[in-house]
Amino acid sequence: MAPKSDTHSSVTGAGDSSSSSSIDPLFHALRLIPYSFLRTPRLRLKLPTLTLPSPMTVYAVVLLTYFMVVSGIVYDVIVEPPGIGSTQDRATGAVRPVVFLPGRVNGQYIIEGLSSGFMFVLGGVGIVFMDLSLDRNRAKSVKVSYASAGISSLVIAYIMTSTSLFNIPIFNKNTRLQ
């Protein structure tokens, strides 16, 4: 391959010929003189090779993203609710911590969102364990372990999520809205 010529050429349109003559002569000389004896180097750069992440890494990132979305991290950043609430007992005057924000469906304490998000993730992991128990290449004891861990994770997540929903007046049949 023949080397390119050392002269500097610029691509200009038909109407731009007057603009090159109106350039300051000093600027014109500073623009052309270095290129009269210098050449740009021929770089042989290799493109970086990107390897795909392992399936477990992708699963962990997706699970963490799911946890953050379900927990209401965006809500917590925008509204900045307190981490946990408190109420004063009328009879004794003692201050008791409150985890679930009473009376508001569209509000939450930070710990309420994190605990609910954890329960949803626990249920999702239970489904993954139950799916892993269906693999034919695993030993029977491993399949039983996966199935029992999956079922117990789903049951715990369901019971805990249902229990937290009873604190909201709309889902509790015994509480009347005022």
Identify the pLDDT of residue 177. 47
Rounded distance between C-alpha atoms, residue 178 and residue 26, angstroms: 84
Identify the pLDDT of residue 134. 95
45 belongs to a structural domain: no
65 belongs to a structural domain: yes
Residue 14 one-letter amino acid: A
104 belongs to a structural domain: yes
CA atoms in the 13 A half-sphere facing the CB of 14? 0
Helices marked H in the chain: 17-21, 25-37, 55-71, 73-79, 110-132, 140-165
Task: For residue 152, give its domain range.
Answer: 55-167
32 belongs to a structural domain: no
Q: Which long-range contacts (CB under 8 A, 24 or more apart) does 39-45 make?
A: 39/6
Closest to 110 in 3D by CA, of 140, 79, 82, 86: 82
The whole-number mean pLDDT for each consecutive block of 10 residues of the chain, a chain of 178 residues, reads 52 50 77 80 88 94 96 92 90 88 82 92 96 94 97 96 71 54
91 belongs to a structural domain: yes
State if pTM tops 0.95: no
Q: Are the C-beta atoms of residues 129 and 150 closer than 8 Å to each other?
A: yes
134 belongs to a structural domain: yes
36 belongs to a structural domain: no
Identify the pLDDT of residue 178. 46
How many domains would you assign to the chain? Answer: 1
Q: Is 146 left (phi over 0), alpha (psi -120 to 50) or beta?
A: alpha
Identify the pLDDT of residue 54. 95
156 belongs to a structural domain: yes
Identify the pLDDT of residue 154. 97
Closest to 109 in 3D by CA, of 74, 86, 85, 79: 85
Rounded distance between C-alpha atoms, residue 145 and residue 132, angstroms: 10
Identify the pLDDT of residue 19. 53
Q: Are the C-beta atoms of residues 147 and 133 closer than 8 Å to each other?
A: yes
Q: Is 104 helix (H, G, I), strand (E, B) or coil?
A: coil
Identify the pLDDT of residue 80. 92
